[in-house]
C-alpha cells in the first residue's frame, strides 16, 4: 500500500484553519499541523489549535516566535482591538504574518519531506489583510520553487489555499459536511483566557454572519 503524501497545515485554532486541515485530510494527505506562538494577545487560540489537532489526530508542532518585539498590531502590542467596522487595513493586521508563517511551514515541510502546504487564507469574507490575497499566494508559490531544495531538485512545493474564493458561509457548510465541530475553535481577536469570544470584533462579526447565512447554529462561546 502506498504511503500517504505528507502535508504541513498551518493551524491557528480558528474556523478557517480547521476547515483547511479537514479538507487536506479529505484529499488523502498525511497532515502535520503547525502553529506559531507569536506573542498574540489571545493565547486561547493556541489552546484551540491543540484541540483541533487532537480531534483530527494530526501531530501538532508549536513554534515560539515573539513578534511583540516588533509590535505594530493590536494583536501583538498595546493597541485596542477595534469593536466597530473600520475602513482600510485594520490595526489587527500583523505585519508580514502570513509571509513569516509560510516560511516556517516551508522549512518544516522540507524537513518532513513534504511537498504540500495548506493555509486557510480567505479573500472573500475577511478583514482586508494584504497577505490573504491570491496575488500574494501566487508570488509566494514562485518563491517556494526558488528558495527550497525541493524546488531546485525539480519537485514542486505547492501552496494550497482551498478556502480563498469561498464565503464564510460556504466554508462553514463545507466544514459541517466534513464533520467539523466548530465549537472547539476560537476566532475572536480578544478572546478571554477561557476562549470565550467578545462578539464585537471584526473576526467575531464575520464569523457570526457566516453561521447565520449558512443556516447553522453558532456554537461559539461568548463572554
> What's the CATH number where 37 sits?
3.40.50.620
pLDDT at 84: 76
Q: Is residue 76 domain-resident? A: yes
Q: Is residue 49 domain-resident? A: yes
Q: Is residue 222 domain-resident? A: no
Residues of the chain short of pLDDT 50, as ranges, are 1
Distance, CA of 164 to CA of 27 (rounded, Å):
17
pLDDT at 41: 81
Smallest Cα–Cα separation from 46: which of 13, 14, 8? 13
Distance, CA of 85 to CA of 186 (rounded, Å):
20
Parent domain of 135: 6-214
Smallest Cα–Cα separation from 16: which of 179, 141, 177, 126? 126
Q: Is residue 113 domain-resident? A: yes
pLDDT at 155: 85
Domains: count for the chain: 1
Whether the full predicted model's pTM is greater than 0.85, yes or no, is: yes
CB half-sphere exposure, 32, CA atoms < 13 A: 21
Distance of CA 201 to the CA centre of its chain: 17
3-state SS class at 204:
helix
pLDDT at 1: 43
Q: Is residue 1 domain-resident? A: no
pLDDT at 151: 84
Q: Is residue 43 domain-resident? A: yes
Which one-letter DSSP state was computed for residue 142? H
Instruction: List alpha helices for the chain, DSSP H.
Output: 15-26, 44-56, 97-112, 134-147, 149-152, 168-177, 202-214
Q: Is residue 102 domain-resident? A: yes
Q: Is residue 180 domain-resident? A: yes
Residues 6+ apart with CB under 8 A from 176: 214, 216
Amino acid at each position: 500500500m502506498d504511503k500517504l503524501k505528507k502535508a504541513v497545515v498551518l493551524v491557528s485554532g480558528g474556523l478557517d484553519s480547521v476547515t483547511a486541515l479537514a479538507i487536506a485530510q479529505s484529499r488523502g494527505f498525511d497532515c502535520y499541523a503547525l502553529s506559531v506562538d507569536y506573542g498574540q494577545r489571545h493565547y486561547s487560540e493556541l489552546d484551540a489549535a491543540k484541540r483541533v489537532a487532537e480531534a483530527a489526530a494530526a501531530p501538532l508542532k508549536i513554534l515560539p516566535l515573539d513578534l511583540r518585539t516588533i509590535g505594530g498590531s493590536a494583536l501583538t502590542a498595546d493597541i485596542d482591538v477595534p469593536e466597530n467596522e473600520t475602513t482600510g487595513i485594520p490595526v489587527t493586521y500583523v505585519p508580514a504574518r502570513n509571509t513569516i508563517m509560510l516560511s516556517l511551514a516551508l522549512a518544516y515541510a522540507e524537513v518532513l519531506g513534504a511537498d504540500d502546504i495548506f493555509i486557510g487564507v480567505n479573500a472573500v469574507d475577511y478583514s482586508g489583510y494584504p497577505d490573504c490575497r491570491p496575488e500574494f499566494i501566487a508570488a509566494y508559490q514562485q518563491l517556494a520553487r526558488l528558495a527550497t531544495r525541493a524546488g531546485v531538485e525539480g519537485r514542486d512545493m505547492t501552496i494550497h489555499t482551498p478556502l480563498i474564493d469561498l464565503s464564510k458561509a460556504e466554508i462553514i457548510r463545507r466544514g459541517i459536511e466534513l464533520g467539523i465541530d466548530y465549537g472547539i475553535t476560537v476566532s475572536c481577536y480578544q478572546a478571554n483566557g477561557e476562549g470565550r469570544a467578545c462578539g464585537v470584533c471584526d473576526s467575531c462579526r464575520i464569523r457570526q454572519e457566516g453561521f447565520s447565512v449558512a443556516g447553522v447554529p453558532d456554537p461559539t462561546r461568548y463572554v
